[in-house]
Structure 1
Amino acid sequence: MTKNIKFTVFLALIITFISCDDKIDVDVPEAPPRLVIEASLDWKKGTAGNNQTIKLSTSTPFFDTTTNTSVIGASVRVTNNNSNAVYNFVDQNDGNYTITNFVPVLNDSYTLEVIYNGETYTATENLIPVTPIMNPTQSLEGGFDDEVLDVTIFFDDPADEENFYMVRIKEDTDLFAELETQSDEFTNGNVQEEFFEKERDDEDPEAEYNPGDTVNIRLFGISERYYNFISLLIEQYDSGGDPFSVTPAEIRGNCVNQTNEANYAFGYFRVTEFDEIDFTFQ
């Protein structure tokens, strides 16, 4: 190799390493903060359902380090559109608005009204009933991996009507719950089932379900609109990190700003009945 060639290669390497150290500033567009409404009025079977909480906060830019985004001073109420009963939620000064005398009535229509910064947000949903969970079963054959424990729940789907479901499962040690949705479009009136299995990790035997592990399983009856909303959220969450997934898009809930439509809120107002069991693997 001639001296000129050696010098050229050496110079190219120097330029490469120097360019790796250069700081690149990327302008990330920042949207103005929006109201975030977490209004899930969930009624557990066999309980009064009178204690309910609605949480309000504001959104923040992606790189913002603000930790306290709680909204205080808002007016929050829910109206039963069938009986005209009004339920005023009390501001706890921490972003939570609570009530102790809510009366859930299956299939009744409810409207949420939030007044914040002089603007009124509303949303309407029906209280959807749900069928009870049958005895769950565990196996090594019901899932994708025949060396990993899985749990399956069963429930009867009412005939001659459209039904939509959300299943939530969470182990004691899990930071987040796992969610699945289901409709009876092709199985109307039949016994439905949903199974859950954790992926095996050879380096961490505790990652999968093991004998002695306890999981909490909830089955919710949900509206078709909420089914579509939460299914899209689950799809985007599960595809995180997948280079072949569809580009994530903003998903809007059912909360509408009646004062200024452009200043819409994030979140969803749902009213559901749910059944719940705790299952321990053997």
Structure 2
Amino acid sequence: MRVFKKLFYVLLMLPMACIDPYEVEVGEGEQLLTIEGMITTQPGRQVIRLTRSATYGSVFEGLIRPVTGATVIVRDDLGNVVFLAESANDRGAYFTPENFAAQLGRSYTLQIQTPDGTVYTSFPEKVNAVPEINNLSVQTVRIPVEGELNDRSGVQLIAEINDPVDENNFYFWRNGPSVYVLETRPDLFTPRPSDANPSRDPQPKPCCIACFRSEQVSNQSIFIANDDNFNGLTTRIPVAFIEDDGLRFVKTYRVDVRQMSISQEAYRFLRLVKQQTEISGSVFDPPPASIRGNMINLENPEEVVLGYFIVGAETVRRIYIDQNDLTFRQNKAIIPDDCREVPGAQVAPPADWNP
């Protein structure tokens, strides 16, 4: 009887072992042209990045591809044309001449011809004046994290501006380059064990403990505003958030805040992007959707082109943040090595370091 039962189970499992897996073939998604970049009134090499990204694919790798070999120009409303040159080291990045700057009151159009001959153009964007930042102040922010004992924290920067009267203004803030005093622990340096050096004991380095580290920190959110509620008034408004990673605010931190005037259409685009990026995952969130920018295919206007060519006047305000300006700080992070080994770090301070 037991032998019969065993034979029955073996026969029952045989058909299951012969089932072939069903292979689903998913076609590659549409390659969408994406524009990333802006030009402002601040002189310097300004960049436009071109990529193509798929909406989906059967193999989830390499979905973002730089667009190389394109012809990229910026044209103003007077007919002046500036050609952007592709970087030899940064594929898909196209740079203006070194001292290029947009002019106040002018309108600019971005035109792109891809290697296959397709021509894209933006709608004109006008450069409107931007007020100065009167002052920048610091506010410490703590962010509770569900399931964690320690809060996230960082510095929120508050700008004071005098908004112009009798005109509708739209603002966009972003972080410029930053520098801070980096402290490490070369006395704790322990090399990776190897046949030539099997020891696991610390082997202290004689130098160096303190360096100046340069970095480009993106904002944790998109900071934009219109002056519907403060037209013609002096106002204070959050313009940046810099997270405390246990290294940045140990001593002194310096950052440049860039305030930019943008068009109403650019503001609407950035507001939609902000809403999409801040979706919380609840049932009350709006459904995600492709947000069209101001670029079109001249031969096929229905083609979806992602991104937005932003143009505007820009002003910059620098602030030095001392460790004592924070009311809460993260525990100091430990890097057991010479501070010069950290990317972006050097012993000498920048020539314009003046806390």
What TM-score bracket applies, with the shorter chain setting the length?
0.7 to 0.9
Q: Which residue of 2 aligns with 1:258?
A: 298
Q: Which residue of 2 aligns with 1:41?
A: 39
Q: Paired residue for 2:314, among 274, 277, 282?
A: 274
The verdict on how the C-alpha distance between 1:241 and 1:207 changes in structure 2, with shifts beyond 3 A counting, is farther
Aligned mates of 1:28, 1:181 — CA distance in 2: 39
The 5-angstrom pairing of residues 167-206 of structure 1 reads: 167-169=173-175, 176-177=218-219, 178-195=221-238, 206=246
Query: 89-98 vs 108-117, which deviates more?
Result: 89-98
Preserved contact between residue 74 and residue 111 of structure 2 (Cα < 8 Å): yes
Alignment size in residue pairs: 250
* Counterpart amino acid of residue 236 in structure 1: Q
Q: Paired residue for 2:66, among 58, 65, 70?
A: 70
Taking every aligned residue pair, what percent have the same amino acid on both sides?
26
> What 5-or-longer segments of structure 1 have no aligned partner?
1-22
Query: 173-182 vs 161-170, which deviates more?
Result: 173-182
Instruction: Describe the SS at the equivalent of 1:185.
Output: helix
Preserved contact between residue 214 and residue 278 of structure 1 (Cα < 8 Å): yes
Give the superposed CA RMSD: 3.4
Shift of 1:154: 0.7
* Counterpart amino acid of residue 118 in structure 1: G
Q: Which residue of 2 aligns with 1:95?
A: 92
Q: Which residue of 2 aligns with 1:133?
A: 133
Shift of 1:195: 2.2
Q: Paired residue for 1:229, among 266, 269, 276?
A: 269
Q: Paired residue for 1:56, among 50, 64, 69?
A: 50
Q: Give TM-score scaled by structure 2 length.
A: 0.61
The verdict on how the C-alpha distance between 1:27 and 1:174 changes in structure 2, with shifts beyond 3 A counting, is farther
Q: Give TM-score scaled by structure 1 length.
A: 0.75
Note the alpha carbon deviations across 1:128-153, whole angstroms, 9 max, x for none. 3211111212346x9999x9864311
Q: Which residue of 1 aligns with 2:166?
A: 160
Aligned mates of 2:29, 2:63 — CA distance in 1: 18
Aligned mates of 1:244, 1:210 — CA distance in 2: 40
Preserved contact between residue 52 and residue 64 of structure 2 (Cα < 8 Å): no
Shift of 1:190: 0.6
Shift of 1:59: 0.9
The verdict on how the C-alpha distance between 1:143 and 1:157 changes in structure 2, with shifts beyond 3 A counting, is farther
Which structure has the larger Rg? 2
Aligned mates of 2:218, 2:225 — CA distance in 1: 20
Preserved contact between residue 149 and residue 210 of structure 1 (Cα < 8 Å): no
The verdict on how the C-alpha distance between 1:149 and 1:52 changes in structure 2, with shifts beyond 3 A counting, is closer
Aligned mates of 1:222, 1:165 — CA distance in 2: 6
Query: 191-200 vs 212-221, which deviates more?
Result: 191-200
Shift of 1:175: 5.5
The verdict on how the C-alpha distance between 1:77 and 1:187 changes in structure 2, with shifts beyond 3 A counting, is same
> What 5-or-longer segments of structure 2 have no aligned partner?
1-20, 145-152, 180-214, 326-355
Aligned mates of 2:306, 2:80 — CA distance in 1: 26
Shift of 1:276: 2.1
Preserved contact between residue 105 and residue 127 of structure 1 (Cα < 8 Å): yes
Q: Which residue of 2 aligns with 1:122?
A: 121
Aligned mates of 1:198, 1:208 — CA distance in 2: 13
Instruction: Describe the SS at the equivalent of 2:54.
Output: coil
Q: Which residue of 1 aligns with 2:257?
A: 217
The verdict on how the C-alpha distance between 1:255 and 1:208 changes in structure 2, with shifts beyond 3 A counting, is same
Aligned mates of 1:179, 1:24 — CA distance in 2: 44
Instruction: Describe the SS at the equivalent of 1:79.
Output: strand
Aligned mates of 1:233, 1:277 — CA distance in 2: 25
Shift of 1:185: 1.3
Shift of 1:25: 8.8
Shift of 1:261: 1.7
Instruction: Describe the SS at the equivalent of 1:226.
Output: helix
The verdict on how the C-alpha distance between 1:215 and 1:33 changes in structure 2, with shifts beyond 3 A counting, is same
